Amino acid sequence: QALSAALPHNANKPAEYVQGGQAMPAPAGVHAAPDNLDATGSTITEDNTSPKNGSKAEPGNNLNIVPLQKHRIDSGGRHITTNQGVPVADNQHSLRLGERGPTLLEDFILREKITHFDHERIPERVVHARGSAAHGYFECTEDITDLTRAAPFAAVGKKTPVFVRFSTVAGERGSADAVRDVRGFAVKFYTDEGNWDLVGNNIPVFFIQDAMKFPDLVHAVKPEPHHAMPQASSAHDTFWDFIGLTPESAHMVMWQMSDRAIPRSYRTMQGFGVHTFRFVNAQGQATLVKFHWSPVPGTHSLDWDEAVKINGADPDFHRRDLWEAIEGGAFPEYLLQIQTFTEEQAAGWSFDVLDATKIVPEELVPLRTVGRMVLDRNPDYFFGETEQVAFCTQHVVPGIDFTNDPLLQGRNFSYLDTQLSRLGGPNFHLIPINAPVAQVHNNQRDGFHQHGIFRGRVAYDPNSLAGGCPHQAGAAQGFTSFAEKLLEQQATAEPTKLRAKPEKFADHYTQAQLFYASQSPVERYHIARALRFELTRVQTPAIRERIVAMLRNIDENLATVVAQDLGMTSLPEPLPAARPPVASPEVSISPALSLLARPGDGRILARRVALLVGDGVDGAALEAVYQALVQAGAVPRYVGAKLGSVQSSSGDALPVEVTMEAAPSVLFDAVMLPAGAGAAATMAADGLAVEFVQQQYRHCKPLLVPTGAATLLQAAGVTTLPEDEGDPGLLFVPDDQVAQAGEEFIRRIALHRAWQRQTEPPMV
Ligand code: HDE
């Protein structure tokens, strides 16, 4: 019964998860599916027609992912055909001259099959090659039509379908998920006025200020060209060489070395548009805007030692987490929050809002929540959707416009350009996942893989032969670039062609200081530890020294600690700063910059909890805790030494769902030690069990310890119990009260980690 209650549920794919003809119920408290989703699930036949051709999404009720239906293929009950639809009698043998003779060139079936196979790879993305994606919807929750005419914000309650791809940056397509890296957070809104791509990251700033430097940055961080190492890691000489010589990266590097770069899940990280964008309303008035996605479950990260081990235990850790959360009905949810300000306001600030290495502190311009995004459906076909989706920063809709951020301007060129070689030509907008829900009409024609069958003899504008159609939409309906006037001071300095940047861009350290100063002690410790790890792997002493010299401009104490950790006997001179930090910045401490500022909503949806079991455990108590976790939307698992079952103290068989070997400690967010002294004593002699508990403890995770299981805890080396010092992650429960401990355990799990447990070196 416990097992069936934990089976995955997805309201949008009822065909996949039914029991007795009924869709599985969602765990308590998860969001219901949006009412405008297709109800047919994923078993599609060719009878399905697309409402896309000839129909326009009604305002306020977007067509959702329905247009994808006609492309979904289900081969249930079908026979194999060639690509020409010819039925294939034998798919096992090639055509040969006699049983032992040569294969015949005539075998068109073999040749077609092998030829297709030979060409089934496409180039991976130059950056962000490793990614995972999901469908969902964006819902507008506040009226901001005074700020923007953009379709997703047309009315409160309006839902717009989205496809979101999360990614790492440096690693190749098959690299591990839990590496230290920036994460991509790219959202494609299928609005009824065309596609809007908000191609962001989980860090609000970037390494460089000008697109001109991007190829150098990427060449520096990618595997070194002579031996193609290391994979998916910035911990090598060329990266830190580039950083030390590019002081504008100082702020970003602080974020990249923080726990932001090892998120627990794509569900628990923020997203940022990074650049300053422009909102334009129906009257043509503009407001500057920064976009933030805030995860409802809060911001949570991994421990570095844990991340390293996860990459061995499950390189697909984040991909699996996203997939399973959605299949299980624990839909990832984010608030869309904006910061808006005027050009005049921004001109008065000590930093330039066109500089992508700067944030606008929340204490200066508070966040305003204007919508929510829910991801409620997994893709059906990884290649067709996640791999072929093409995000482009220049995909904007009426109501959204660019600013002159030189990084954004360069991106607006790069993304379309890269899709041409990645997806093989200019018609990638016809690939189903990229096709807008809005109708497409223009005079662009031909090209590789053209799908349209255009009618009539007119493919030019203006024309009279087709009655002037398709015709221009005009300013009221169509996209019009904001008629930007350069600010007075820029305008008077007679614009000339030049390769330069504004003066405020030269301040590289004020906000790096702000970020570091705003971190909690444990976060600062993790930053120092990350720098130690990365720079220890750097082989060239001069590169290490240059980074320490850079750190001296950020925080003297941080520089000293890192220098000591690297065995340096003296501190190098600070790097000369192009411009001294701002003497009195608008904000010098920003609590919002700490991960701990967003603890989440207290729910533990999709958190994985191990319940260790062995012969002699208290089955009733375990079952009670298990059920409480299921009710809370978590994913409990009975973890034992071998598959099969164990015998509880009352003689019942309790199933072992996974083993410690196949699913080690790092794959769980919390553990319950065996309820039952006998089982605990047996496990105390099992190295895998000891290691399991040890690592749960070292990685600061919540442990429910029935008093009878103290032997196992001790065997794991947890001898000085910091319970008296208020370790909220250690929950000791008398053996006879374990059955009632579920609720308290859930509260502890919601706290995520007891970081105060961490010592240097680790205690266990
Ligand atoms: Fe990208 N980036 N980028 N980038 N980027 C790509 O486009 C580029 C930058 C980001 O899931 C590429 O389709 C330049 C900032 C994401 O498919 C490429 C510059 C931010 C993704 C490209 C930047 C991003 C990409 C590679 C400096 C955060 C993955 C494949 C001017 C705001 C999207 C592709 C997905 C992907 C170029 C800097 C985010 C080569 C030239 C800043 C999330 O076009």
The 10s digit of each residue's pLDDT in 547-566 is 999 999 999 999 999 999 99
C-beta of 213 in contact with ligand 1 (< 6 A):
no
Q: Name the active-site residue from 128, 236, 292, 526.
A: 128
C-beta of 244 in contact with ligand 1 (< 6 A):
no
Question: Who wins on pLDDT, 455 or 61?
Answer: 455
pLDDT of residue 48: 26
pLDDT of residue 55: 34
**How much distance in Å is there from the Cα of 353 to the middle of ligand 1?**
20
Q: What average pLDDT score do residues 368-375 get?
A: 97
Q: Name the active-site residue from 201, 311, 434, 553.
A: 201
Q: CA 359 to CA 161: how far, in whole Å?
A: 29
Q: CA 389 to CA 164: how far, in whole Å?
A: 9
Q: What average pLDDT score do residues 246-251 get?
A: 98
pLDDT of residue 326: 92
Residue 35 has pLDDT above 80, yes or no: no
**How much distance in Å is there from the Cα of 125 to the middle of ligand 1?**
9
Question: Who wins on pLDDT, 640 or 54?
Answer: 640
Residue 725 has pLDDT above 90, yes or no: no
**How much distance in Å is there from the Cα of 199 to the middle of ligand 1?**
7
- 240 half-sphere exposure, CB direction, 13 A CA radius: 28
Ligand 1 atom showing the smallest separation from residue 274 Cα: 32
**How much distance in Å is there from the Cα of 212 to the middle of ligand 1?**
14
Q: What average pLDDT score do residues 614-640 get?
A: 96
pLDDT of residue 721: 62
For residues 566, 570, 571 and 573, what is the CA-based torsion angle, rounded to 10 degrees? -140
Instruction: Name the band, by pLDDT with cuts 50, 70 and 90, for residue 724.
Output: low
| Domains in the chain, CATH or no CATH each | 131-245+265-430 (2.40.180.10), 506-597 (1.20.1370.20), 608-757 (3.40.50.880)
pLDDT of residue 54: 33
Q: What average pLDDT score do residues 128-154 get?
A: 96
pLDDT of residue 128: 98
Model pLDDT for residues 203-238, shown as the tens digit of each residue: 999 999 999 999 999 999 999 999 999 999 999 999
User: Which residue has its alpha carbon closest to ligand 1 atom 27?
Assistant: 211
pLDDT of residue 300: 98
- Token pair listed for 246: 């590019």
Q: Could you count the other beta carbons within 10 Å of the beta carbon of residue 642?
A: 10
The 3-state secondary structure of 8-36, one letter per residue:
CCCCCCCCCCEECCEECCCCCCCCCCCCC
- Token pair listed for 146: 């005074």
Model pLDDT for residues 119-131, shown as the tens digit of each residue: 999 999 999 999 9
Residue 110 has pLDDT above 80, yes or no: yes
Instruction: Name the band, by pLDDT with cuts 50, 70 and 90, for residue 491.
Output: low
Best residue among 127, 163, 165, 387 to mutate for probing ligand 1's pocket (most ligand atoms within 8 Å of CB) is 127
Of 55-59, 480-484, 745-749, which gets the smallest average pLDDT?
55-59
Residue 2 has pLDDT above 50, yes or no: no
Could you tell me if 356 and 205 are in contact, meaning their C-beta atoms sit under 8 angstroms apart?
A: yes
Q: What average pLDDT score do residues 15-38 get?
A: 42
pLDDT of residue 490: 63
Exposed/middle/buried for residue 316 (C-beta within 10 Å: 0-12, 13-18, 19+): middle
Averaged pLDDT of the chain: 90
pLDDT of residue 46: 27
Catalytic residue list contains 429: no
Sequence-ordered list of residues with C-beta below 8 angstroms from that of 578, at least 6 positions apart, any chain: 247, 506, 507, 508
Model pLDDT for residues 312-329, shown as the tens digit of each residue: 999 999 999 999 999 888
From residue 546, alpha-carbon distances to 397, 538, 553 in Å are: 44, 12, 11
- Give bridge partners of residue 655 from the DSSP assignment: 645
Residue 166 has pLDDT above 70, yes or no: yes
Give the three-state DSSP class for 326.
helix
Residue 530 has pLDDT above 90, yes or no: yes
For the chain, what percent of residues have pLDDT higher than 90?
84
Instruction: Name the band, by pLDDT with cuts 50, 70 and 90, for residue 496.
Output: confident
User: Which residue has its alpha carbon closest to ligand 1 atom 23?
Assistant: 411
Ligand 1 atom showing the smallest separation from residue 131 Cα: 11
**How much distance in Å is there from the Cα of 415 to the middle of ligand 1?**
7
Ligand 1 atom showing the smallest separation from residue 410 Cα: 31
Sequence-ordered list of residues with C-beta below 8 angstroms from that of 334, at least 6 positions apart, any chain: 271, 293, 294, 295, 296, 372, 373
Instruction: Name the band, by pLDDT with cuts 50, 70 and 90, for residue 23.
Output: very low
Best residue among 383, 411, 431 to mutate for probing ligand 1's pocket (most ligand atoms within 8 Å of CB) is 411
Of 232-246, 403-417, 431-445, which gets the smallest average pLDDT?
431-445
From residue 620, alpha-carbon distances to 221, 638, 649, 737 in Å are: 53, 13, 9, 11
Model pLDDT for residues 313-370, shown as the tens digit of each residue: 999 999 999 999 998 889 999 999 999 999 999 999 999 999 999 999 999 999 999 9
Ligand 1 atom showing the smallest separation from residue 201 Cα: 28
Q: What average pLDDT score do residues 143-154 get?
A: 97
Model pLDDT for residues 651-674, shown as the tens digit of each residue: 999 999 999 999 999 999 999 999
Best residue among 132, 164, 197, 199 to mutate for probing ligand 1's pocket (most ligand atoms within 8 Å of CB) is 199
Of 16-20, 323-327, 718-722, which gets the smallest average pLDDT?
16-20
Please state the φ and ψ torsions of residue 138, each to the nearest 5 degrees.
-110, 135
Catalytic residue list contains 526: no
pLDDT of residue 41: 29
pLDDT of residue 66: 64
Q: CA 3 to CA 1: how far, in whole Å?
A: 5
Q: Could you count the other beta carbons within 10 Å of the beta carbon of residue 99?
A: 6
C-beta of 407 in contact with ligand 1 (< 6 A):
yes
User: Which residue has its alpha carbon closest to ligand 1 atom 7?
Assistant: 415
Q: What is the ipTM of this complex?
A: 0.97
Q: Which among 133, 250, 244, 746 has a CA at the least distance from the CA of 538?
A: 244
Instruction: Name the band, by pLDDT with cuts 50, 70 and 90, for residue 26.
Output: very low
Ligand 1 atom showing the smallest separation from residue 217 Cα: 27
C-beta of 128 in contact with ligand 1 (< 6 A):
yes
**How much distance in Å is there from the Cα of 127 to the middle of ligand 1?**
7
Instruction: Name the band, by pLDDT with cuts 50, 70 and 90, for residue 493.
Output: low
Model pLDDT for residues 36-50, shown as the tens digit of each residue: 333 332 222 223 223
Best residue among 122, 124, 125 to mutate for probing ligand 1's pocket (most ligand atoms within 8 Å of CB) is 125
C-beta of 132 in contact with ligand 1 (< 6 A):
no
